[in-house]
Amino acid sequence: MARRIAAGAAYGGGGIGLLGAAGVGVLLAEVQLAKRSVGGGIAPVPPRGDGWYGLAFGHTEPLRMGMLGDSTAAGQGVRRAGQTPGALLASGLAAVAERPVDLRNVALPGARSDDLERQVTQLLSATSHPPDVCVIMIGANDVTHRMPATESVRCLAAAVRRLRTTGAEVVVGTCPDLGTIEPVYQPLRWLARRVSRQLAAAQTIVAVEQGGRTVSLGDLLGPEFAANPRELFGPDNYHPSAEGYATASMAVLPTLCAALGLWPETDHLDATRDEDMLPVAKAASVAAAQSGTEVTGVRAPWALLKHRRRRHVLPTADARAGAAEKEESVERDAGHSPSKQ
């Protein structure tokens, strides 16, 4: 199914959906129940996280990082800029590279994949220097708003291709597993998981074919969400909490650094870590079912399935934008930019 969706996107097909017709009518009552529970709390407006990270490494030429996508990429659900995934990843990248990182986050809460073209334009027009690396997290709203799967992955492929044309490395965090949302009941939970994984696999295929790398967000990157939903989901029962974003960032960071050649592990196969070389469609299917799995293109039609060792990101309890920055850093949610600290 993932290969059919990707092929439909490549050749202009528009009739391949994720849900199909079976069981939709039966599930309408479940959808209404879920809507009453999900979003019952109030998710804070995501704080701005733009600016420089890792100023302790000096004011040399920074690595330029772009963050694109939906509310997950924007960090909706937390109150401090230092707790957003963009800030966590930028801080982690700065620590690994031992260079400052200039972050530009253009993600928009509620965005679907058809908003990526606008976001890419905004990111590229914001500076005279193209980004060195970009992270895209998108897909959940495509599922909840029943966006045709072929259109969804077509938009993602175009965004990855456009960013790669500028010379930027691209890491895509694929569609999260919406079946992990606690208030969603069966059989909607099963269907949400199936639909999410199908889209994630299709996203992997098109992103890798355009020269990007993917990391499977799955149940938002690890069994922690399934085991501790009340701890790792935010007050609206839908968006992650600060601990949840830290878990997600910890899984994405190794791939982000590896894309720039900064990670100590190579891109070669490590059979001791259950890694494999598979056709891209098969690799995409396996990754969609295993959270935190990286897929990297090698040579068509082959892709490398990686399970990189995770490293802890900066503590989310510290609201400052990067532990490597000076202790007198001012919280950016009070309106200050880390580039001025």
How many other CB atoms are found less than 10 A from the CB of residue 320?
22
Q: For residues 208 and 284, give the distance between their C-alpha atoms in angstroms, rounded to a whole number.
A: 9
Q: For residues 58 and 54, give the distance between their C-alpha atoms in angstroms, rounded to a whole number.
A: 8
Q: Residue 123: phi, psi to the nearest 5?
A: -65, -45
Distance of CA 81 to the CA centre of its chain: 17
Q: What is the pTM of this model?
A: 0.81
Check whether 16 has a pLDDT greater than 60: no
Residue 306 gets the label, from left (phi > 0), alpha (psi -120 to 50) or beta, of beta
Reported as a pLDDT band with limits 50, 70 and 90, residue 176 is confident
SS3 64: strand
Q: What are the tens digits of pLDDT across the range 113-163?
A: 999 999 999 999 988 899 999 999 999 888 878 888 899 999 999 999 999
Domain boundaries, the chain: 2-8+30-315
In the chain, the N- to C-terminal Cα span, in Å, equals 50
Known catalytic residues are: 71, 236, 239
Check whether 97 has a pLDDT greater than 60: yes
Could you tell me which CATH number the domain at 2-8+30-315 has? 3.40.50.1110
